[in-house]
Amino acid sequence: MAPAHMRFLTATRPVLLPDNSDRALRKLLYDLFTVGAQLEEIRRRVGARIDLTGPQFTIMTAIAELEGSKGVSVGRVAKHLHVAQSFITVESRKLAQKGYIGKEPDEQDRRVSRLRISRKGRSVLNSLTPLLQQINDVAFELKSRRQFETLCTVFEGLVGSSRRALALAGGKV
């Protein structure tokens, strides 16, 4: 009779089953769940410092990163954050009501909204910079640039494969 840990394998790909066991994979998943929950809580707490939800804070930082000289479209922010455009539309409206972003129609296509950080928004983001630097320096205590680059590459791949896995899970999304 096979040992208990061998009876129920949660994967079939050999690369995921060292020693014909899924123990390492399950530990990785538990660790990912823990890191994800902790990052979500960090995002919530940092956002709360400027009266935002965690997702609103992330949207604001994405706008600041992407806006350039002409602002950034709702669609571009949604794609960058891997979320629905409707979510960005709703949340950007709330950010505009708080005075953290401006929202104007695109000059070439009036159906498209261009988002940009307002002076007030830039001020609150700048006030968080020292804290964000500390948080990121501690959260990503990696040994080398190569390790960081590997982590970036691996997670970029996981974004797509986890989306496909979500479709396999079925049910309501």
Options 3.90.220.20, 1.10.10.10, 3.30.390.30, 3.50.50.60; CATH for 23-132 is 1.10.10.10
Q: Is the pLDDT of residue 172 over 80?
A: no
Q: Is the pLDDT of residue 2 over 80?
A: no
Q: What is the pLDDT of residues 23-34, one digit of tens each?
A: 999 999 999 999
Q: Give me 58's structure tokens.
A: 């992330």
More confident residue, 113 or 153: 153
Q: What pLDDT was estimated at residue 109?
A: 79
Which helix (H) or strand (E) segment holds residue 102: the answer is strand 101-105
In sequence order, what DSSP letters do the residues of 27-86 get, joined into one string? HHHHHHHHHHHHHHHHHHHHHHTTT--HHHHHHHHHHHHH-TTT-EEHHHHHHHHTS-HH
Q: Is the pLDDT of residue 136 over 80?
A: yes
Least confidently predicted of 19-28, 81-90, 107-116, 156-165: 107-116
Q: What is the pLDDT of residues 152-167, one digit of tens each?
A: 999 999 999 999 999 9
Beta-bridged to residue 104, according to DSSP, are: 114
SS3 category, 118: coil
Amino acid, res. 169: A
Q: What pLDDT was estimated at residue 125?
A: 97
Q: What pLDDT was estimated at residue 8?
A: 84
More confident residue, 105 or 39: 39
Q: 57, 47 in Cβ contact below 8 A?
A: yes
Mean pLDDT, residues 40-63 taken together = 97
pLDDT tier, 4 (very low <50, low <70, confident <90, very high otherwise): low
Rounded CA-CA distance 23/10 in Å is 9
Question: Of 102, 99, 103, 89, which is closest to residue 51 (Cα–Cα)?
Answer: 99
Q: What pLDDT was estimated at residue 113?
A: 85
pTM of the model: 0.87
Q: What pLDDT was estimated at residue 84?
A: 95
Mean pLDDT, residues 48-69 taken together = 96
Q: Is the pLDDT of residue 169 over 70?
A: yes
* Spans of all domains in the chain: 23-132, 140-173
Q: Is the pLDDT of residue 141 over 70?
A: yes
Q: 29, 36 in Cβ contact below 8 A?
A: no
